[in-house]
Structure 1
Amino acid sequence: MSTAGDWAASGVLALTGRADGPPLLPPGRAATVAGELADRFAERTGVRVDGAALLAERAAFTGGRRRGAVSVGGSCRLLPTADGWAAVSCARPDDPALLGALVGRELPGDPWPEVAAWLREHPGAVLAERAELLGVAAAPVAPRRAPQVLPEPPHRPVAGLLVADFSALWAGPLCTSLLALAGARVVKVETPGRPDGARYGHPGFYRLLHAGTRSVVLDPASATGRSALARLVDAADVVVEASRPRALAAWGLDAAAAVAAGTTWISLTAAGRGSGRVGFGDDVAAAAGLVASDTDGTPLFCGDALADPLTGLTAAVLATTAPADGSGVLHDVSMTDVVARTLDGTPSWPAGDLPVALPRRREPAGDAPVAGADTADVLRELGLPC
């Protein structure tokens, strides 16, 4: 199938363009890349999914539709800056306050008018600097050069591997849900004050990504919790996390030490472990250049948070590999780089006569555990007091 055909079959076209306009074909070949990643995962594990269809799967649960310069989920916007465009997210409860700090004033009620006014007066570089300093999920839209693709270690069986999943939302849980389907033993880790925000999203989508996993809640502020976290990481064959390094260090977790002990550590961040940038699927994809173009050149969102499923598929493939000598490895997965690798200069254009498939979904393979349902059992297995 052609790149355009892959896009058309994926369900993403139905989510790309203005609400009152025709569907648009996104730039690049992300749907084709997603299919290639899924094929590689299937070759190594026997678990076959439609990679391109995963890109639009969340919208099949939520009923999301295209909204132009507003993301499908409604929490991210494309807004003009003094020298271009920027993607800005307001998804977390404390984001309105952070956006107020960004623009230098308290934002009562709807934050968007004040944010839009501030952006029009400031260049993208100023936004990027202040957003990283404040932890705001925002960045200028500036297409990245595709980074070099490094060779992967040899692949290995996944069945039976112990996977400690410290991630949340979509990218990391998609990775670990695929590993669970392939027979890995996945333990999802949350803390009392920081549950996975996806628990409050669509319940069917949450079940899809967490059926077949176990859930533990551990408190890194307590000696018992820190000990359990350390023991779990020591026992894990694979660790998947999506936090800035200093956040995990505050929990007493050391990626370098785990890798030295033979662990495969997969770190998912907006722009790499060396960056302080915070980002979510919509703003990361748009900032990397995965945006459609309206007839007047206005950038519009492509699909629903495409950086998330692309990164989840990438991480799942990486988890099927390990150095031949049994040593550990750190995979520093930048979501921005994952998106950039799909952009090949192919522009966005109207879908025209292409058949536009609607987003479709897989059915959950069971229920997701409630938070902490398996804490006692996992602690017993680690030889720790319950």
Structure 2
Amino acid sequence: MFVAMNERRELINIVHYRERTSLLPLKEQHLYCPQCERPVILKIGTVIIPHFAHVKHSNCSESFAEGETLEHMQAKIQLYSLFERSPYIPQLEPVLRDCAQRPDLYVKDAEQHYVIEYQWTPISKKQLQKRTTNYIKANYPSFWLTKPPHSLRPNLIQIVRLTPFYRAVYESNERPYLYYYDPRIQSFYYIAPLIHIQNDRYIGHVQKIPYKDQTVPFRRDEPELSSAQIERYIHYYAHARMRRIEQAIRYERGNDTLLTRCHDLKLLPFELPNWIGVPLIDGHVFRQHALDWQFHYVHHCLMAEEDWSSEDTVVTYSARYGLSEAEHHTVEQYRQFLVQVRVNDLRDILSEATYFRHFEMTLVAKGQVN
């Protein structure tokens, strides 16, 4: 930890000591953890960053872990320095009594405030959600930054794989994009907009932002995508859709598959119209490819002779298959899309212009800040 408390209950922020020699007088003081108030000592090594540590093991570490990696400590210092140079007032490792947590940073200005958590090593989705929920209950909006995956290629539209941890971060942040930070090269990576393909695979526009160019509070408007960039998204998405059909033909067997639904409707898999399997703003709530769940809905409507453009049909469909509230909402998005493009028959095909426009509108919505 970088913040300790002296006998007068004054907070000592080690980051403000620029030289290691200036820290030496602190070793003569009685210092305490601001959270559990047990004794801590100052550690000044030749390799690791100077920091405070509990004298003995303390359950304080359950909410504020010691043994942080060098990268985590570097990131906290660099992020703190970034906010110190901004209109925001930052606090490093504050003790938030009303939610029994100690985030890496707490920042505020005249209008807003939020906590920042930096996570170099992954934690479980359950842990992340618990900490985020605790912040929300105590009225602390939170923002999570993480270590960037090795596979990112800056300034390109590409396939991005999100592990359960990264996906949980994406869903926890109240912004429709992902931010990573690498303290070793002092660079942010910003991915937006993200379009879900299937399982852990997304399409995203990766941008690399040098530390010196980063704005706060990490809000960076997505530049308007060019027609060529939108076409790149469409190319990746169409390729993934084709691969999903090929996968079904080669490997799927059973009574309720994409192939059996095609058989029921006397349709070859490659004849599926292009309005089945389209991206939607909240399509990521289904882990399967959009082709699967959208075709399931259309197949249900045709076999049950129900109108796929009816709100009542979505309600009965959701109840029959036990959809969650989020899944019901996404099926309703799809119903609205079908109404908008005015498809009434499996033989209907969207024009290239209509398909492009849908992609453009979806990407614009995904790139907006909530």
TM-score range, shorter chain: under 0.3
Normalized per residue, which structure has more strand? 2
Higher relative contact order (CA 8 A, sep 6+): 1
